[in-house]
Structure 1
Amino acid sequence: MFATRLLWMFVVTRAVIGTAAYSGSQFIFARFPSYESGDEYATAHFLFIAHAWEGQCTVTESNGTDYDIQLTGNNSVTQFHLPKDRKLTMGVALEGDRAVELICTTEVSLSVLHRRVSQGVADAFPVLPVKSLSTKYIVPSVPNNALLAMVAIYNNTNVTVHFNSTCSYSFRGNIYGRGNQLSMALLQGEVLQIASSQSTTSDTCDLGGTVVESSHSVAVFSGSPLLCFDSHCDGAMSQVPPIETWGTSFIVPPAPDMEQYRFQITSGYNGTNITIDTFTRIESIILNQAEIYDEDVTKAAAIYIRSSHPILVSQIAGNSTNYQVFQAIVPATDAYSTNYLIPDIQTSSMSYTRHVTITTSSNCTSNININERWSVQSTDSQTFAIASFQPSSGSTTFKSNSSACPFGVLVTGVGIDEMYGYFSTPVGGDSGGSLEDSVDLTCTKADWVVKVNTQELATVFPTSVNKNIVMSNAFCPGVLEGDVLVFNVSYNDCNTVIESITNISSSTVPVNIMQLTSNNKTVTFSNYLIEYERDAQTNLVSGALWRYNLACVLQKHETDVKPFLPVDHTEVTVQATSKIQGHEAVMKFYTDDTYTTEMKGNPLKVGLGTRVYVQVQTSVPAEVKLLVNNCYISTDITSGNSTRVPIIQNRCEANHFTHIVGHVYKLTRFYFDVFEMPHHHDNMYVACDVSFCPLMDFAPECQGGCLSTHL
């Protein structure tokens, strides 16, 4: 393993807590057919947008048609029915009018329901944001009527499909089957679909183990318009996650009201040792890259799966008495969260009975905000608890009050002769949680009036310290009036971001605005409250306990037309080296979470409160992977007595100021917000230790992700 160090120099720093893999501000997915052979009915598509904060989204279809969606209320779900239900064709096709793009002004989580307009075929699945997509995928098994689709995000995207199929497919005069390759150049928004020309109950076509590679990131979807299990059939679709997001530890819960299910394992690497732990036995298997193992479980019980290298686990379940089948991607236990916002997926033409199944550690049942009966299940190596119940109607929030007690959520909805099923994803955006009950915001014509009830806040954050709560930075503290901390400041103080809204389009939606209106005579002010955590010895900021975004949207007045500028003109200087020992790496800085708008200049000058997106990448052709090990802030990089504040430690986010967006073998992305240090220094530094490992080295020190021990 080769190790080296990258240095950045800047005056002051600041960063925020990050997002889960499934939350973001830009998404793309494709319309899929949901029908049987000879079906004359169209397919309807419904979007369910879960958002922690209010904002606005724009839905853009491939033909350029835009639809504006207002996100109303915090911790809410907004539903949108895509107009013009369509009859979609099967078979192998390259089509430019199926992709749908969603761009929002705040981070959201997106789920999509697609169903035949007449009842009988339906499914729902979560959608990955564009920032979480990649260039290589391995397709899980779908035992019959398999459908595979790839959606291009950028023009001139070269896609190659390495077939591992049980059927042959005809396209443009050629036949493609196991061992063949299909290569196509896709334009932005084009969809390459691979499927049989008709779907029938006797079709046994499976594309499991097929590998998809592309020159630019693509979205990949896998499923079936008619998936059959236990003698009954229904529609099933899922988005395939990139290989680098797979895991090594999984709990597969039983599906509610179903006596059996099937789990499937797809291997991402050669020589993967896998242990399957049930109530009655432990089985060990070895899979190579793109190999698949599946097994039916006839008892309504959970199983535990662990592996030496990353794998993908999926689940198929069906009801023997009705035409109800679903397939879902099972999240790794490392992907469990403490905060979920579950949409109540319903349509005007079909009412679904919703079930929720929660899985967590047996020690954590009292930490989750449900009053349901838990079933504690034990395998030879694990003990965990499962609760399955029908929640009340409407969007439902589930939370754990301890970061040590995350959990997974399976959601199923049963209708007449149809159902959907998927594993829920954490709510998008910086979760305010019940924090919002402690904060009251009033917008005047000239001032913020923000009140924080410190007694209510203490019930959420018992370690909260009033003097550490500020608006944006340490120069904007509140005034304590009894038990209420009051912030009454002008809009041109405390680094308030001010935007005059004149036009909103899918290509120019501002990402830093929490609320928008379509009126072109409005001004939007955005800021945030934050509680810093401080080192007891140095009094340096070491993290953030919580953050709460604020926004006011006001009508313009004749006296308000001149632009406001933040009064704090503190500048940040960021400088990067491009050479590191042993190999080369390049650091680039961007202004947006899609990493497309690069910040120019050397050194960079960045205003206080600015969010800076950082990309560390190596372009060497050797089969190596780049790992960012440790990053810290220092007052003097040359002095051994300099105080250091870690922001990344052992490849983990050291505090709430740091968010690692994601990493692949040759690239790591993260972001930070520029913040004010407690004591002013002319220069502050950030140093990062970077390692290089052979690509196929799976030793602990060469694994991506958070490490529990020091390197």
Structure 2
Amino acid sequence: MYTSLIKMEFSYFLLIFGLLFTGVHGQKICWDSKWYNESVTLRNGSNYEHQPVSVLDKICTQGSVIAAQCKDIKGEPFNVNFNDTNNHIYVVCDHINGLICHPYPHIPYATCLDYAIRYGCRCPPITSTVGSHLLLEDAIEVKCTASHWNISVNMSRLQMKYHSVKPTDIFLGSEKCQGHLDNSILLFQQSFNTCSTSEKFNTDMNIYKNNLFYIVFDPVRPYVVLKHEWTFNVECDVNANEVTSSHVEHITEVHNASFTSHYRLTMTYYNDVNFLHRISGNPLKVVLGENVFVKVYTTLPDWDTKMILDTCYTRPSGTNTSAMDVTLIKQGCEVDRNTHIISQSTHETRFVYKDFKYFNNNGGLDIFCNATFCHTSDFSARCTQACKHTVS
């Protein structure tokens, strides 16, 4: 019976394994920058990651996804199926089935790691200029009339340099001002009195200024920016001859974060899973979209006292209201899909979150963590380090 179960499990694995190699050979793949990690390892040791069709259909600007890559929290990306005889697991990773990991049946303590998955699209065809050498000026043309903008963005060229960019990621002055697509050309023809265009009147000319920006918002929390790739400043100088000029400013996205401590807590930040390379400075400077490893601890010398981490959340810097709070951990539970508790002890909790920013807030964000301190002999619900509610 045991042998037959093994054969059935591996037959299923081999069937799924064969699905990976159906139609993507020889095609150049452009990978989406977003990693999906929306599930955790189940009690039976299995792990699954797969997005619905409504999500997959929005990833590629042309056609459907054609490939997938997977990784665990500390591993290199892979896009092959494999049978891990050391850890007694087998893993499927492809764009049809998503990520599927199962432990060997009847092997005690065999369990899958916590995996993430991202998807790949067909790369846009390269026509004349190699993508790595393209400038934004090669893809964006700025013109204007006496009353409105006439900005053209060649999406085919832009996608040669920024493979995952979509027309819905480009804005003029405001998140409410998007262009309309005409074949592969994204057009912005808004009036000067809209989209936060500024104006300055001189004797000889009127000067209008605005900017295009490439931003990716969180689909669940539209006020959270996951990625800010560049800003392209545009200027229109209108005189009798209707002269037009443009200027470009590239922004390397660096994000600030500061911290507040409670109950004699200390928070330190690291850029590696081993907590060896500390991020120093105040405010802290963190690259948007990268993992930030956080250690929350107390320096109390009293080992008869234990620290129970309850809640961690973020708030736009300089605000006093909770309207835009993003909760990372609540009542000891991970509630943000990009936050994961790594380890916990009586005086320390380590977790990782993916850095983000709030839209229209350049002051960074503040991170707050709250903890309770109890005697080590107190095992009441309040003084036990555990997830204290069911996360939906």
TM-score normalised per structure 2 = 0.47
Specify which structure has the higher proportion of helix.
Answer: 2
Q: Which has the higher strand share?
A: 1
Q: Return the TM-score normalized by structure 1.
A: 0.28
